[in-house]
Amino acid sequence: MKARKVVLVDAIRTAFGRAGEKGVFWNTRADDMVVKVIRELMRRNPQLKPEMVEENAWGVFCQEKDQGLTLGRTSVILSGLPETVAGYSIDRMCAGGMSAITTAASAIALGGCDVAIAGGVEHMGHHPMGATADPNPRFLTDKLVDQSAMSMGMTAENLHDMFPEISKEMTDEYSMLCQQKAAKAIQSGKIGEMIVPMTVYTKNGWVVADKDEQPRPETTLEGLGKLKTPFRVMGKVTAGNSSGLNDGAAGCILMTAEKAEELGLQPKMELKAFAYAGVKPEIMGIGPIPATHRALKNAGLTIDDIGLIELNEAFAVQAIAFMNEFGLKFPDEPKMNIYGGAIAFGHPLASSGVRLACHLMHGFKEHPEVKYGLTTMCVGLGQGGTVIWKNLQRDGKKESKDRKE
Alpha-helical (H) ranges within 45-164 are 71-78, 96-109, 138-141, 152-162
Q: C-beta of 80: minimal distance to other proteins in Å?
A: 7
Q: Which is nearer to other proteins, 183 or 296 (CB)?
A: 183
Pick from 201, 217, 261, 398 the residue near other proteins by CB under 8 A: 201
The residues that are catalytic are: 94, 347, 378
**Closest distance to other proteins from the beta carbon of 192 (Å):** 10
The C-alpha atoms of residue 282 and residue 272 are separated, in whole angstroms, by 30
Question: Least separation, in Å, of the C-beta of 40 and other proteins?
Answer: 9
Give the nearer residue to other proteins in terms of CB position, either 98 or 198.
198
CB atoms within 10 A of CB 324: 14
Question: How remote is the C-alpha of 221 from its chain's centroid?
Answer: 26
With binding defined as CB under 8 A, does residue 82 bind other proteins?
no
Does 77 bind other proteins (CB under 8 A)? Our answer is no
Cα dihedral angle (80, 266, 355, 222), rounded to 10 degrees?
A: -140
Q: Which of residues 150-169 bind other proteins (CB under 8 A)?
A: none
Contacts of 56 (CB under 8 A, 6+ apart): 38, 72, 73, 75, 76, 81, 85, 86, 87, 88, 116, 117
Residue 141 CA to residue 368 CA, distance in Å, equals 53
Among 46, 205, 264, 334, binds other proteins (CB under 8 A): 205
Query: Is residue 35 part of the contact set for other proteins (CB under 8 A)?
Result: yes
- Contact flag: residue 39 with other proteins (CB under 8 A): yes
Residue 235 interacting with other proteins (CB under 8 A): no
Pick from 289, 286, 343: nearest CA to 312: 343
Q: Provide, rounded to whole angstroms, the least separation between the CB of residue 204 and other proteins.
A: 5
Q: Binding other proteins by CB under 8 A: which of 47, 187, 188, 199?
A: 199
Q: Which is nearer to other proteins, 79 or 375 (CB)?
A: 79
| Integer angstrom CA distances of residue 29 from 20, 248, 316, 347 | 13, 10, 30, 18
239 contributes a contact to other proteins by CB under 8 A:
no
Stretch that binds other proteins, among 5-13, 205-213, 362-370, 381-389 (CB under 8 A): 205-213
Which of 358, 346, 127 lies closest to 246 in space, CA to CA? 346
Q: Per CB under 8 A, does 2 bind other proteins? A: no
- A 10 A CB-CB count for 187 gives 11
Handedness of CA 395, 400, 401, 405 (dihedral sign): positive
By the rule CB under 8 A, 21 interacts with other proteins: no
Q: Considering only the stretches 77-85, 259-267, 324-332, 361-369, report the one whose residues sit in contact with other proteins under the rule CB under 8 A.
A: 77-85
Q: What is the dihedral of CA 322, 325, 330, 335, to 10 degrees?
A: -70
Part of the chain binding other proteins (CB under 8 A), chosen from 154-162, 195-203, 301-309, 391-399: 195-203
The answer to whether 27 touches 203, Cβ cutoff 8 Å, is yes
Which among 49-57, 65-73, 198-206, 254-262 is the span making contact with other proteins, rule CB under 8 A? 198-206
- The least CB distance from residue 163 to other proteins, in Å, is 43
Cβ closer to other proteins: 146 or 210? 210
User: Whose Cβ is closer to other proteins: residue 28's or residue 102's?
Assistant: 28
Kindly state whether residue 193 participates in binding other proteins, applying the rule CB under 8 A. Answer: no
Total number of residues that touch other proteins (CB under 8 A) = 18
Q: For the packed helices 352-366 and 96-109, what is the interaxial angle rounded to 10 degrees?
A: 70
Phi and psi torsions of 14, nearest 5°: -80, 170
Residue 187 lies near other proteins (rule: CB under 8 A): no
> Is 285:314 a contact under the CB 8 Å cutoff?
yes
Distances (CA, A) of 358 to 55, 164, 253, 352, 389: 19, 34, 11, 10, 12
- Does 207 participate in binding other proteins (rule CB under 8 A)? yes
Q: According to the binding rule CB under 8 A, does residue 144 interact with other proteins?
A: no
Nearer to other proteins, 110 or 208 (CB): 208
337: left (phi over 0), alpha (psi -120 to 50) or beta: left
Give me the residues that bind other proteins (CB under 8 A), please: 35-36, 39, 78-80, 197-199, 201-208, 210
